[in-house]
Amino acid sequence: MRVLLCGGGTGGHIYPALALARHIKKKEKQAEVLFVGAERGLETRLVPEAGFKLETIPVRSYEKKIKELIPAGWDLSRSSSRVNRILWKFRPHVVAGTGGYASGPVVLWSRLRGYPAVIHEQNAIPGKTNRLLAPLVNYVCLSYENSGQYFGGRVKTILTGNPRGSEVKFYAREEGLNTWGLSPQKKTLIVFGGSQGAQKINEIMVESLKQKLLPQGAQVLYVTGDRYYEEVARELENIKVEGVITVPYIKDMPAALAAADLVVSRAGATALAEINARGVPSLLIPSPNVVHNHQYYNARVLEEKGAARIILEKDFSAHLFSSQVKFLLENENKLEEMKVKSKELGMPEAAERMFDCMKQIIKNSIL
């Protein structure tokens, strides 16, 4: 079996693809897996680190600015020829796109050349690339059931969940605690702003630590994001804070989540899939700077089910943040109720469901 995976730009598109790739190799040891991503995307680091082969294409995002039109068009033309060379050489049995601008030309040319293809939509509100590709592919795999309404009646959809959630279930709490040297007797709070970090979350977190507003007795794993780490470290250089571990990036987030009693996070789809698969209560601060405001709608799904609380960025302050964290960590019944609701939303078999869909497509294309 030869599987071509494409997508990228941010961790939200890359991590589900990597989780799916690992599941495929676990189930089909002889399977060949090839990734295709953007030349300047995060995938250029994450995919090789995970041990998979990566081909890149010269494609970029286009924000509808006139000055970007010519270079974006030139890149699209060059990427098309490169995609066709990759397809001619690899000859995949199935192609799977996980979103982001890198997946557009790959899925498009795959279908034009007759290769079976699926796309995976991580968000409650589908992105523009997947909306354009949906009528062309064999199936759209959904993370949220309600997002199917945005694709129209002729598009075949199937609820699979997010493959990244499948990797969270394998960790015991003790493993997560031991990884970071955390105490099993203390409540554990994890604070992070997605694969790139979040400036606003860092500002509020630094202010909360300076004013010592976080609950006494709790332990905190604080992930700043690579780009903000040095700035945060300078801000906290002369602040003595006990029980707080500050790191720029966590490569193995599933292990960290195994130790968590509460997560404070943006509302990216992959982060929420991990959180729900583990059954962790969350305090969500959706980014307002994303297309279709999709992080807010992702977060709403959790809030409406009782698995999370939302703070809008315009309302986000150190005092509101600390009061919410304090209430949740000190209210055992509420925390347990949210944990149950979170786990109900989790789909730990997502990778298997998506792989089953892909195998069925291959089978039907052969018949």
Could you read off the pLDDT of 283-305 as tens digits, one per residue?
999 999 887 788 999 999 999 99
Give the C-alpha separation, 56 to 235, whole Å.
38
128 pLDDT more than 90: no
Structure tokens at 36: 């295709």
Q: Among 18-22, 77-81, 252-256, which range has the highest average pLDDT?
A: 18-22
> Average pLDDT for residues 21-28, to the nearest whole number?
96
| pLDDT digits 0-9 by tens, 145-202 | 889 999 988 899 999 999 998 888 778 889 889 988 999 999 999 999 877 789 999 9
70 pLDDT more than 70: no
Output the pTM of the full model.
0.85
Nearest CA among 329, 171, 342 for reference residue 261? 329
**Any bridge partners for residue 221, and if so which?**
190, 245
pLDDT at 137: 96
Give the C-alpha separation, 178 to 135, whole Å.
47
Taking each helix axis from N to C terminus, what angle separates 318-330 and 332-345, rounded to the nearest 10 degrees? 90
pLDDT at 168: 81
**Any bridge partners for residue 5, and if so which?**
35, 96
325 pLDDT more than 70: yes
Structure tokens at 288: 């307002």
CA atoms 28, 99, 111, 131: torsion sign:
positive
| pLDDT digits 0-9 by tens, 133-152 | 999 999 999 999 889 999 98
> Average pLDDT for residues 107-117, to the nearest whole number?
95
Query: How many CB atoms sit inside 10 A of residue 149's CB?
Result: 10
Mean pLDDT of the chain: 89
CA atoms 351, 356, 361, 366: torsion sign:
positive
pLDDT at 67: 44
**Any bridge partners for residue 158, and if so which?**
141
356 pLDDT more than 90: yes
> Average pLDDT for residues 219-234, to the nearest whole number?
93
Q: Which CATH code fits 173-345?
A: 3.40.50.2000
pLDDT at 61: 59
pLDDT at 152: 81
Give the three-class secondary structure for 276. Answer: helix
φ, ψ of residue 159 to 5 degrees: the values are -80, 115
The answer to whether domain 2-166+348-366 and domain 173-345 are alike in fold is yes
Question: What homologous superfamily does CATH list for 2-166+348-366?
Answer: Glycogen Phosphorylase B; (3.40.50.2000)
Give the three-class secondary structure for 273. Answer: helix
> Average pLDDT for residues 61-79, to the nearest whole number?
52
Cβ-Cβ contacts under 8 Å for 18 (sequence gap 6 or more): 46, 47, 50, 52, 164
Task: Show the DSSP H helices in 91-215 as ranges.
Answer: 103-112, 128-133, 173-180, 199-210
DSSP code per residue over 210-237: HTT-SPTT-EEEEE--GGGHHHHHHHTT
> Average pLDDT for residues 225-237, to the nearest whole number?
91
pLDDT at 187: 94
**Any bridge partners for residue 263, and if so which?**
190, 282
Strands 262-265 and 282-284 come out as parallel
Nearest CA among 194, 339, 348, 331 for reference residue 264? 194
319 pLDDT more than 60: yes
pLDDT at 74: 46
Between the alpha carbon of residue 135 and those of residues 4, 93, 98, 162, 231, the distances in Å are 19, 20, 16, 21, 45
pLDDT at 242: 84
Nearest CA among 85, 139, 73 for reference residue 109? 85
> Average pLDDT for residues 321-342, to the nearest whole number?
95
Cβ-Cβ contacts under 8 Å for 153 (sequence gap 6 or more): none
**Any bridge partners for residue 309, and if so which?**
283
pLDDT at 154: 86
Give the three-class secondary structure for 309. Answer: strand
88 pLDDT more than 50: yes
Domain spans of the chain?
2-166+348-366, 173-345
